[in-house]
Structure 1
Amino acid sequence: MFTFSQEVPPALKAHIDAQYSMFAELSQKMFDTAQKINELNIQAAKTLVEGSLSSAQQVIVAKDPYEALSIAAAQAQPSAERVREYQQHLNNIAARTQVDLAKTAETHVPNTSRTAAAVADEVARKANEETEKAASRQKAAFERFNTSFERGDEQKPQTARPAT
């Protein structure tokens, strides 16, 4: 339909621009989310290492094995609490991301839909034009064929008879 020698139709260019804008913003939201998760993971790792070092120091200075076990057991509850907080932060990030993506889509989809409809209209218009041109060419060819056929009946060349 559109050859490389033709310019990109304005409707198609507008649709591509609208899609690019939507996908660029969605990509930015996803990148921001990945960055937040990365920051959360770094903070969780830092907290885990600090807690482990503190616990290890307390266990090392324990006076007997019972005190060491008591110190280690006492760290189980704070560790479980840190895991719960991590999961909560991760859920919050996911929820915010879902809201951001929905808002972004809500912002861009109407324009993208409008430009897609314009492209479809342009394609339909071009297809109708090409169909009409093809029909005209076929009609002209048929008329030339009929004219030549009609003239052929009147001016039939004599065929040579084979020699005996």
Structure 2
Amino acid sequence: MKLKPISMDVFAEAREEAHMVLAQIMGRLAPGEHVLRLGVDMDGQERPLSATLPLTVEGDGGRDDLVGAEERHFDNFVFLLACGLAQTLCHGVMYLRSPAGEHEGASCTVQAWHLAWGVLDECSAAEAAELIGHGERAAAFLDAPGVHREDDGDTEAVYPPVAYTVL
């Protein structure tokens, strides 16, 4: 099966949303080394596409902390996330692996989001453990915060149904 074509305007909106999602996540990070991973399945693909975004936060946990990301990893991540947000025939998982901090006995913390129908929905700790727990055995799974724009008051897709029609 082939993906439906989308307009460049729709993709531009999806790219903007991907930037907003990353800004939301990066703005909440504590100092340390973090890794954001994304896997997207597209109908007709044999294997999921994936992107990894290493993030380094330097500072004391305040507003002036510096968040570093290598440009090529950042651009690849934004592109894949934008593809998933713009195309309803995509689904996947995004998760953030962070230092354990105060979580005793855990090597890291993990938060996850599920991508479906152009929306990235936050997962509870239990859902995250079920989705990706096999690869993160020594992790403390946490409830993920919402990452979409807050301006419309809900978490529905920001794209109208007409955006998904064939041109």
**Shorter-chain TM band:** under 0.3
More helix by share: 1
TM-score, L = length of structure 1: 0.25
- Which one has more relative contact order, counting CA pairs under 8 Å at least 6 apart? 1
More strand by share: 2
TM-score, L = length of structure 2: 0.25
Q: Tell me which structure has the larger Cα radius of gyration.
A: 1
